Amino acid sequence: MTRNRILVTGAAGFIGAKVCELLLQSGAEIDGVDNLNDYYSPKLKEYRIQRLKNFDNFRFYKLDIENFEILENIFSQNKFSAVINLAARAGVRASIDNPFVYATTNFIGTLNLLELSAKYNVPKFVLASSSSVYAGEQVPFTENMQVDKPISPYAATKKSAELIAYAYHHLYGIDVSVLRFFTVYGAAGRPDMSYFQFIEKIKKEQEIVIYGDGTQKRDFTYIQDIAEGVVAAIKDVGYEIINLGGGKTPIEINFMIKLIEQKLGKKAKIVYKDFHNADMNETGADISKAKLLLDWKPKVDFENGLEQTIRWHIDNNEFLKTIQ
């Protein structure tokens, strides 16, 4: 890859940091943006950013994509070949408690970036979306499904961001790749994700909570695979929505817990609670479009990815104590 300058938002996030790492290794100049909010411990975000600062082709800005004026300062001083918007408020259940911040970050933040991309002639925009938009549809999920019945504010804001991105593609000719991610997992992940909590609590012999009976399924996708898909999506596609998921048999939560038990040599202490009505029973991606357009498919199977994730938790036990 030539030394293009690319703006990556959410650079301190789980996916954003790995995407930055791959791009930096390829020789791209990366301007990373993140507000380092406290949705989960900023120490974990700082841990990721410090690793990126080892690259001399990385610059970091602590700012919020909701702030149009500060964002414009960066656009006005640089010629970006692409914007990769991975900044978002994540979490289905948390979006019910505070829907306003989800609307301002996931929609208004995206609108700010699109408006500035149009104003400063940025030709490429990559937008992170979510499998959550498929609520109510039958597995496997395909990109042409009508997804207009979101069951959480989070899903609604993600769909809204997809729509405004299409409007800017239509009006200004910005080339847009919309990527719908499916349950991303791996080392240094988000502490609110189930696999992260299960590993930590089983390791410490603490109770874990399952909403429902544990038979719900997720199409887990390893972080390295997701990041490679994001990088592949920088190519010209026009306007396309593309699933990035495991693409095989979705994994039952109970099965994931059994694997964690086996690898840690400890038994889970499980507390069952009522299934949350903002959750989905099953997710599963049809990834044929990603294979066709991006020449992408996941390489890491779930058991190997989970083993690598658990190893990171064991190796970083002391650090993890500081972010609880």
Active site residues: 154
- Count of residues in the chain: 324
- Of 94, 92, 99, 167, which is closest to residue 127 (Cα–Cα)? 167
Q: The tokens of 186 are what?
A: 């791996």
Q: Which residues contact 294 (CB under 8 A, 6 or more apart)?
A: 229, 232, 233, 235, 242
Largest CA distance in the chain: 57
Strand partners, 240: 177
Q: Which helix (H) or strand (E) holds 22?
A: helix 14-26
HSE-up (13 A, CA, CB side) for residue 101:
15
- Of 230, 238, 225, which is closest to residue 170 (Cα–Cα)? 238
* Contact in structure between 92 and 279 (CB atoms under 8 Å): yes
Strand partners, 20: none
The C-alpha atoms of residue 264 and residue 65 are separated, in whole angstroms, by 40
Q: Which residues contact 238 (CB under 8 A, 6 or more apart)?
A: 169, 175, 176
